[in-house]
Structure 1
């Protein structure tokens, strides 16, 4: 019972914050919009409009991810402040800790936001496949499509989606969008923008920056739905609506796949591709430090978005100072790896001596253990 109560208490204090009140208002508006637009889409019998209105469902997942991210950051900040306060109150704390404390170590709720992003993108991909199936079934049923609700439902969906994307602070999705690879829709639009800017240089500040894939998906879906409404009024039949819904499903799939792949790789504890070059540079600099003979068994992986965890073994000279080597190796990697474990091995043929060093940056909101500073296990 203590865990659910603590979670509810944390959510209560989170919702009391000013930015969370704005999120609650936007959430209520999004729920109301979902009810309105899906009611309109059901009356039109148009799969293209229903596919476009499914963006409102993704908006709810987006808001949920934002709340989880904010709650996670709030918990980490409180733990860090509590740790700093306890450390300042107990200045006689020893730097030596027993090995058994490492067995009970846990990263806590750090990976919750990664799982939330992965779940949101995968549900959107599954929704795209559902739209694909329903569109083919609707085509063979040949039901009449009414176009009177196309315009209001499309405008409401577009406005609410843009409000959620640009006014709800979501650090998790912001990181995934910036770090993941571009979707095929972004690449094609980027090529078109580059050609336009080549002919009209004044448009470069507006068109050359990387476009938000979620906003780009909204604008493309809106143009398809409005074109579908126009062609249906011209009497082109249900084939146009089916084709439009298929286009929307494929664009949704292509937009969500890069973000799902990136968050899935984080869950699989892989090294982010954009960090490999920087890690190699830092390891090369650390290997050239005085007293360091060899770096081996390096392993670095992403704990969460923007949080890197790593461990490595350092073989140092027999006459080298372990504290000196620990401090300098950590100093080279501290700007890249937030939670770092270093094993020091003395180059001694007669006596095997091993030291373990763990360091977590207190300047970052992530903390690896309940001890700050240098922690040595012998």
Structure 2
């Protein structure tokens, strides 16, 4: 029997669908294995389906409120996808290139979701101003049912996220060492929940819930009083609420990405530096750097100028304890003998 030769490119082409199916099944198993990611995925499917319903109804009724709400729901889906991917990436273990792991995926996701919300708010605001000048005819009699259904969908999402155990924590060991005129201390067991990630996704859903409420209110006003101007006014109000609500998320995520000193430590670090400087054998505290790795996980780095007679082990132990009291679980301390 003659041997069968299969072209390598043809083999790769034929096996590509199989590899894609295996890859999708693997990610699906990862998603459904955790309650938080499972709830997020199910709500993503529900949200995406209803976004199309709102868009079709919005075009049919000529309602800016409903159309903008449907586009906002599409952005919600992108936020949910971002949150879903980030929540999985965060669980990846540290390696030689990403020595801190992938926990900052939550910060990136929060920042991206915040920018998306700003874009949505300005889009709704610009469309609202245009319709405020020339209010169009809106078929308000068809709005109420769909807007109520949208409100229910968003309430389901809020409930799912608040009761899905959507959080993340991680622990790490610690160690201390010192040698000669140069010592280091590393330690801590950082613990935190993915607050920025949850906050970004939740803000999208809350803003969309406000959108549904706005559409309901405008539909009632148009039906009862014939106020066609209610549609753009409610949309403007929603846009302003979105901008106000997204500000804390953007402020916190930018602070983390720019490696600002954690806000919660602003009024505590100076007293800690003074306490360390007052330790026996410590001359000065230098090169002080403190930043946030991810939600609730603070990292610090400093250099101590010490006397040659100083007990390095005692100094490192006390320094570590001082900063651990304010929540800095991972601290890197370099000691250097003072020049005589």
Q: TM-score, normalised by structure 1?
A: 0.66
User: For structure 2, which runs of at least 5 residues remain unmatched after alignment?
Assistant: 1-19, 169-192
2:104 is matched with: 111
Whether the 8 Å CA contact 2:65–2:231 is kept in 1: the answer is: yes
Residues 223-302 of structure 1 mapped to structure 2, 5 A cutoff: 223-302=213-292
> Shift of residue 8 of structure 1?
7.4
User: For structure 1, which runs of at least 5 residues remain unmatched after alignment?
Assistant: 84-100, 181-211, 350-378
Partner-residue secondary structure (3-state), 1:320 = coil
> Shift of residue 257 of structure 1?
1.9
Q: Given the alignment, which residue of 42, 46, 49 partners 1:25?
A: 42
Q: Which shows bigger deviation, 133-142 or 158-167?
A: 133-142
Residues 197-208 of structure 1 mapped to structure 2, 5 A cutoff: none
User: Structure 2 CA distance, aligned partners of 1:174 and 1:55?
Assistant: 23
Whether the 8 Å CA contact 2:305–2:336 is kept in 1: the answer is: yes
Partner-residue secondary structure (3-state), 2:266 = helix
Residues 365-376 of structure 1 mapped to structure 2, 5 A cutoff: none
> Shift of residue 286 of structure 1?
2.7
1:70 is matched with: 87
RMSD value, Cα: 3.4
> Shift of residue 300 of structure 1?
0.7
2:16 is matched with: none
Q: Given the alignment, which residue of 120, 127, 130 partners 1:127?
A: 120
1:151 is matched with: 144
Whether the 8 Å CA contact 1:41–1:153 is kept in 2: the answer is: no
Q: Which shows bigger deviation, 120-129 or 65-74?
A: 65-74
Count of aligned pairs? 290
Q: Which shows bigger deviation, 295-304 or 58-67?
A: 58-67
> Shift of residue 311 of structure 1?
1.0
- Seen in structure 2, the aligned counterparts of structure 1 residues 21 and 268 have a Cα distance that, compared at 3 Å, is same
> Shift of residue 152 of structure 1?
2.2
> Shift of residue 178 of structure 1?
10
1:14 is matched with: 30
Partner-residue secondary structure (3-state), 2:229 = helix
Whether the 8 Å CA contact 1:56–1:157 is kept in 2: the answer is: no
User: Structure 2 CA distance, aligned partners of 1:164 and 1:62?
Assistant: 13
1:175 is matched with: 195
User: Structure 2 CA distance, aligned partners of 1:8 and 1:291?
Assistant: 59
- Seen in structure 2, the aligned counterparts of structure 1 residues 18 and 114 have a Cα distance that, compared at 3 Å, is closer
Whether the 8 Å CA contact 2:151–2:213 is kept in 1: the answer is: no
- Seen in structure 2, the aligned counterparts of structure 1 residues 227 and 262 have a Cα distance that, compared at 3 Å, is same
1:323 is matched with: 313
Partner-residue secondary structure (3-state), 2:336 = strand
Partner-residue secondary structure (3-state), 1:295 = strand
1:337 maps to 2:323? no
Whether the 8 Å CA contact 1:128–1:250 is kept in 2: the answer is: yes
> Shift of residue 319 of structure 1?
0.4
Whether the 8 Å CA contact 1:316–1:345 is kept in 2: the answer is: yes
> Shift of residue 142 of structure 1?
4.5
Partner-residue secondary structure (3-state), 1:303 = strand
> Shift of residue 62 of structure 1?
4.0
Q: TM-score, normalised by structure 2?
A: 0.73
Partner-residue secondary structure (3-state), 1:59 = helix
User: Structure 1 CA distance, aligned partners of 2:299 and 2:115?
Assistant: 26
User: Structure 1 CA distance, aligned partners of 2:238 and 2:122?
Assistant: 11
